Amino acid sequence: MKKIALIYMGGTFGCIGEPLSPIPAENFIPQLQRVLPLHLNIECFVAPSIKDSSASTATDWLQLIQLIQNLQLKNYQYFVVIHGTDTLSYASATLARFLGQSAHVVLTGSQYPLLNVSGTNTREFTDAIDNLNFALDAVATSSVGVYLAFHHQLIHAQTALKRHTTESDAFAGINAKDNLITHQQSYVVHEHDIEKAQSFNCLSLMAQPIAIEQQIKNLKNLQQHPPHALILQGFGTGNLAVNEELISTLHTLQAQGCAIVLTTQVPFGTINQHYAVSEWTQHANIIISDCLGHADLYAKALKMYLQYDSVDQWHAHWHDSV
């Protein structure tokens, strides 16, 4: 029988009360064990970091990855992670980028708590049990890789997007039944990676239809304290209004150690280099995103940051299988 490691990382799934507040993990795990299918070989673990997922950062996900990799050394190969929905897409993409095809991993969560207000029994109406059972079934039957299981949809983790704040059908992405060619190399997380990730500064700037002079001012404001990675979310296929001053401003940021990546703010589809966007991006010497969604771009930027220390190295290795 396949041995499944069920890792609890907090979120609405493990909350009680009105308004909702989390139960301490040591009190929640026994309640969780009561609803697990008896025919499966499941062992429960508590993630190194338990918090509201809106407060989760790269450090929390790297610690989770480290836990999974340590459990792999103990012959676990099947993992289900319970995580809050606010940053579930980011967690999913990060695990996919770092674990690759090294294990069977399914993340899930819920829009409603597992337990009632008092925490004494399961909630009368909840999607928590359904999502958990679906994830447990999916991890045992799906091919190796990382997935998000939610509302009877199994999604490739790198493509996950939260599309609704409250509905049970909360996530979109490429269905796991559809072929997604991925060549992610697994990355063994060490303590120095977790320490370095604490300083990771990634800023996403979504273009608005404002005068180009204002766009330039916004970019120049970053020059005092530039991030490690600046993601420019353009219109359509990545289009932005540019001139020589804007490109010069981008060059200044790059010279200060800021890697600049162009993507689109459109949720689905990729950048099309047949448009005018191609010429100015070469002049500006910025990186063009080849990722499968915004969360995947965040995860790739994090991995690049941990591996490389200069903007030139980002350019040289961006299209490697990282």
Could you list the active site residues?
12
287 φ, ψ to 5°? -85, 140
Neighbours of 202 (CB within 10 A): 17
HEC assignment per residue over 47-106:
CCCCCCHHHCCHHHHHHHHHHHHHHHCCCCCEEEEECCCCCHHHHHHHHHHHHCCCCEEE
Distances (CA, A) of 4 to 13, 39, 62, 94, 291: 19, 12, 20, 21, 30
Binding residues for substrate: 53, 85-86
Which residues, at least 6 apart from 122, have a Cβ–Cβ distance to it below 8 Å? 35, 114, 115, 116, 129
Binding residues: 53, 85-86
Which residues, at least 6 apart from 244, have a Cβ–Cβ distance to it below 8 Å? none
Compute CA 150 distance to the chain's CA centroid, rounded to the nearest angstrom.
15
| Unique residue bearing structure tokens 């961006």 | 318
SS3 311: helix
